[in-house]
Amino acid sequence: MNLQLGRLLGCVLLLSSVSFYACAGDTTSVNKHNSADDVVLKLPEGFTAKVFAEGLGHTRHIAVNTNGDVYVKLSNLKDGKGIYRLRDTNGDGIADNITGFGNIKGTGIAIKNGYLYFSSDEEVFRYKLDGNNNIINPDKPEKIVTGLLSRHEHEAKAIALDNSGNLYVNIGAYSNACQVSDRQKGSPGMKPCPILDSAAGIWKFSADKLNQTYGDGVRYATGLRNVVGLNWNTATNSLFVMQHGRDQLHDLFPNLYDAKQSAELPAECMYELHQGSNCGWPYIYYDEFQHKKILAPEYGGDGKITAGEDAQDPVYAFPGHLAPNGLLFYTGNQFPQKYKNGAFIAFHGSWNRAPEPQKGYLVAFLPFKDGKPSGDWEIFADNFSGSPELTASGRAKHRPCGLAQGPDGSIYVTDDSKGTVWKISYIAK
């Protein structure tokens, strides 16, 4: 009897929580549910999300071809394959033809001028696509860049291409704050920081020359701790990047920062780059509350002293530690006008806010006008984690990572935790 009563109660609770989500729909609408798991994305009114594919493992960045073929790059091989092509042959918004190829794991992927580019943690490759948009020779990619530094930390080589034959590669710092001994309490910052010569920046290579190394490329921008989300903005004709800000202010400097300050500082910054840009790492970080570049404590800072006069200011500052892993400037015509040329950012979600509640696991939107942010950021897609509790504990079911736009103006979001790919479209007129 008791057991039955319990079950009944459980059912009622479950039902009421389901209807709660449904009711929350006066400002948000929910996705058509076609997936094995119970996560329902929350989206602005008029938008819908479909699970395009799932169970693909660690799906990182994503690229969509002009014919609608979707390619995802995996940081762990799934069934021995490092890239999957997801094809929707009947146009129902769900991939029905899925094939894997290549045995190289990594993060970066992009399509340009009939080639599919992708990266491992040390190299960049490409495949030629034929007239039917199939890959020629899946076992033999061309090697474009080789020998990039990959030392454990910030190893992912995210890539972007411009429209003038250039390839941009992130080479993340193999360090948190360039201390003599990484992440060691009491270890001073190295000055000058030797990491900046070969990492902690964006390097530019030719998109068409084979087997390039550091010597063939140029250091395009420096002072960037680590970038995973980057995108060529065709409206400004410039490269935009999202930096992952430094960690552990409280762990390393408990006398200067309490746990709460450490959870919120520094900001995750968006930068617009040009040849020679310097964003200031490791000497400074950006404080979004004081709106200032602050001298890093490893270099004598106390949380107030400003520095970095030679470093550029961010285009925009987001809350700390949300981990921006994907950046996309929206150029489609499907979404309402306010989204045009604006930025979508996939926030992978924090870990370094502990013991404070974790945050993130969402896709943000930042409106742009005339090449500059024209308002505050807002949450575009939420509840990847599954619930507010799973967000707070950091045990998110899904973690957004890559973003891409399809030829119909829908956008795709990857999750590198369970390998779900969502297709988000605007349906209200």
Residue 218: CB atoms within 10 A of its CB come to 13
Among positions 27, 164, 355, 376, the unique one binding another protein when judged by CB under 8 A:
355
The Cα-based distances of 249 to 204, 253, 268, 298 in angstroms read 32, 6, 14, 10
Give the residue ranges of DSSP H helices in 118-201: none
Nearer to another protein, 93 or 349 (CB): 349
Nearer to another protein, 37 or 182 (CB): 182
Among positions 282, 319, 324, 394, the unique one binding another protein when judged by CB under 8 A:
394
248 binds another protein (CB under 8 A): yes
Nearer to another protein, 151 or 340 (CB): 151
391 binds another protein (CB under 8 A): no
155 binds another protein (CB under 8 A): yes
Q: Is 138 exposed, middle or buried (0-12, 13-18, 19+ CB in 10 A)?
A: middle
393 binds another protein (CB under 8 A): yes
247 binds another protein (CB under 8 A): yes
Q: With CA atoms as reference, report the closest residue to 201 among 180, 185, 178.
A: 178
Query: Tokens representing 248?
Result: 């552990």
251 binds another protein (CB under 8 A): yes
How many chain residues are in contact with another protein, going by CB under 8 A?
28
3-state secondary structure of 215: helix
Query: Tokens representing 190?
Result: 């190295």
Which among 30-38, 108-116, 122-130, 392-400 is the span making contact with another protein, rule CB under 8 A? 392-400
Nearer to another protein, 227 or 239 (CB): 227
Residue partners of 8: CB distance under 8 A and separation at least 6: none
CB of 390 to another protein, least distance (A): 12
Distance of alpha carbon 9 from alpha carbon 16, whole angstroms: 11
Nearer to another protein, 128 or 183 (CB): 183
Nearer to another protein, 65 or 385 (CB): 385
3-state secondary structure of 18: helix
CB of 409 to another protein, least distance (A): 31
Which among 4-12, 28-36, 91-99, 388-396 is the span making contact with another protein, rule CB under 8 A? 388-396
CB 401 within 8 A of CB 391: no
Measure the N-to-C terminal CA separation of the chain; round to a whole number of Å.
Answer: 51
User: For every residue of 404-415, which 3-state class applies, written as one string?
Assistant: EECCCCCEEEEE
Which among 182-190, 196-204, 290-298, 383-391 is the span making contact with another protein, rule CB under 8 A? 182-190
3-state secondary structure of 348: coil
Beta strands in 67-138 (DSSP E): 70-78, 81-87, 97-101, 109-112, 115-119, 124-128
Which among 42-50, 163-171, 181-189, 278-286 is the span making contact with another protein, rule CB under 8 A? 181-189
**Residues 115-154 contacting another protein, CB under 8 A:** 152-154
Distance of alpha carbon 158 from alpha carbon 171, whole angstroms: 8
**Residues 183-202 contacting another protein, CB under 8 A:** 183-187
Distance of alpha carbon 400 from alpha carbon 134, whole angstroms: 27
**Residues 307-326 contacting another protein, CB under 8 A:** none
CB 409 within 8 A of CB 332: yes
Nearer to another protein, 152 or 429 (CB): 152
21 binds another protein (CB under 8 A): no
Nearer to another protein, 329 or 361 (CB): 361
CB of 79 to another protein, least distance (A): 13
Residue 205: CB atoms within 10 A of its CB come to 22
CB of 244 to another protein, least distance (A): 11
Instruction: Label the pairing between strands 277-278 and 218-222.
Output: parallel
Nearer to another protein, 116 or 178 (CB): 178
CB of 297 to another protein, least distance (A): 16
Chain positions contacting another protein, by CB under 8 A: 58, 75-76, 152-155, 181-187, 247-248, 250-251, 351-352, 354-355, 393-395, 399, 416-417
